[in-house]
Amino acid sequence: MKFGVHVSKAGGFRNALREAIELQCDTIQVFSGNPRTLRQPKIDEDDVSAFRQGLDKESIGPLVIHAPYLLNLASPKETTYELSVNALADEITRCRILGADYLVFHPGNHVGSGIEAGIKRIADAINKACDMADLTGESGLVLLLEMVSGAGTEIGWTFEQQKAIMDLAKDVPLGICLDTCHMFTAGHNIVTMEGLDEALKELDQILGISSVGIVHANDAVGGLGSRLDRHTDIGKGMIGEEGFRVILGNSMLRKIPFILETPKNGLEDDMRNLATIRRLAQEAVIW
Ligand SMILES: [Zn+2]
Ligand SMILES: [Zn+2]
């Protein structure tokens, strides 16, 4: 199986590469710029080419970029919406400079305008941003809608909602990013074989299992259906070691790269969580 973490690019992409190598990541996720702003500084070309060469040399991939948290492609407010569409187009361009395989983003929050209006808004935004950045199916970059917890007015916590977005953005290379914490707190009982099997069957029926690009592996602070988006260490939350053994034993999921987004103060936290998930993957009974 492929495992990786969300690495820090404080100190440049070179630093992200250094972290990835030190942690022995098979794959990584990183922000392309500052996650707390929608206007990004220019990418340093020397830094990017060193990063890219390093990833290729170490065979680290896929390279996943996570879009800034401030993006709201469902916003009913015109200024926020326009800023978000431009920021998504900018992220796509940056991903292509970086040679990224996937760009993950949260679909958006409808902020009271309703799920249906929000879905239309999101799909329009994706179409527009891809048009602005000239992204086609041949570009090699795939956009991934993240399955979210459904906190507040978030859209994208059911497979049907994601399907509705994808149907309205047909010409775009678009897939899904699963997140174990979000799936569980959105109400899928993925910690038992029966529950996970049911969720994956539903996923396959509605979206097709092949639409899943990556899995975010996070334990959950909140309980089943709590809609709480708070990650914790692998094995230390409501999913627990036993839940992760079930998830990591599933033969369909084992083919998909797993990326950790667990809390960290330093590299040792990622190191510990990676060691735990790799151990659980070995202990898991494959089914
Ligand atoms: Zn996310
Ligand atoms: Zn996530």
Mean pLDDT over all residues of the chain? Answer: 97
**d(Cα 73, Cα 71) in Å, to the nearest integer?**
6
Q: What is the distance in A from the centroid of ligand 2 to the CA of 18?
A: 22
Q: What is the distance in A from the centroid of ligand 2 to the CA of 179?
A: 5
Listed in sequence order, the residues at least 6 apart from 168 whose beta carbon sits closer than 8 Å to its beta carbon are 119, 120, 123, 124, 127
Q: For the chain, what is the domain count?
A: 1
Listed in sequence order, the residues at least 6 apart from 106 whose beta carbon sits closer than 8 Å to its beta carbon are 67, 69, 71, 146, 148, 154, 156
Give Cα separations from 18 to 57, 84, 169 (angstroms). Answer: 13, 31, 37
pLDDT, mean of residues 90-100: 97
Tokens matching residue 73? 């492609």
The CATH number linked to 202 is 3.20.20.150
Question: Computed over its alpha carbons, how large is the radius of gyration of the chain?
Answer: 18
Q: What is the distance in A from the centroid of ligand 2 to the CA of 100?
A: 17
User: Tokens 């065979």 label which residue?
Assistant: 59
**d(Cα 99, Cα 5) in Å, to the nearest integer?**
18
**Closest among 145, 172, 184, 180 to 161, alpha carbons compared:** 145
Q: What pLDDT score does 40 carry?
A: 85
Would you say residue 237 has pLDDT above 90? yes
pLDDT, mean of residues 155-162: 98
**Closest among 102, 90, 172 to 137, alpha carbons compared:** 172
**d(Cα 45, Cα 157) in Å, to the nearest integer?**
37
Would you say residue 99 has pLDDT above 90? yes
Tokens matching residue 157? 């916590």
Give residue-wise pLDDT tens across range 249-260.
999 999 999 999
Provide, rounded to the nearest whole percent, the portion of the chain with pLDDT above 70.
100
Give the structural domain span for 253: 3-283
Would you say residue 39 has pLDDT above 90? no
Tokens matching residue 192? 């038992």
Tokens matching residue 173? 């290379």
Which protein residues have a CB closer than 5 Å to ligand 2 (ion)? 179, 216
Q: Work out the pLDDT band at 36, boundaries 50, 70, 90.
A: confident
Q: Closest ligand to 186 CA?
A: 2
pLDDT, mean of residues 215-222: 98
**d(Cα 262, Cα 256) in Å, to the nearest integer?**
18
Write down how long the chain is: 287
Tokens matching residue 85? 């569409």
**Would you tell me how many other CB atoms lie within 10 Å of the CB of residue 239?**
25
Q: What is the distance in A from the centroid of ligand 1 to the CA of 79?
A: 23
Q: What is the distance in A from the centroid of ligand 2 to the CA of 103?
A: 12
Q: What pLDDT score does 159 carry?
A: 98
Listed in sequence order, the residues at least 6 apart from 116 whose beta carbon sits closer than 8 Å to its beta carbon are none
pLDDT, mean of residues 56-76: 97
pLDDT, mean of residues 90-105: 97
Would you say residue 41 has pLDDT above 90? no
Whether the predicted model's global pTM rises above the 0.95 cut: yes
Q: What is the distance in A from the centroid of ligand 2 to the CA of 36?
A: 16
Q: What is the distance in A from the centroid of ligand 1 to the CA of 106?
A: 6
Q: What is the distance in A from the centroid of ligand 1 to the CA of 181?
A: 11
**d(Cα 109, Cα 63) in Å, to the nearest integer?**
26
Q: Closest ligand to 181 CA?
A: 2
Q: What pLDDT score does 34 carry?
A: 87
Q: What is the distance in A from the centroid of ligand 1 to the CA of 217?
A: 11
Q: What is the distance in A from the centroid of ligand 1 to the CA of 147?
A: 8
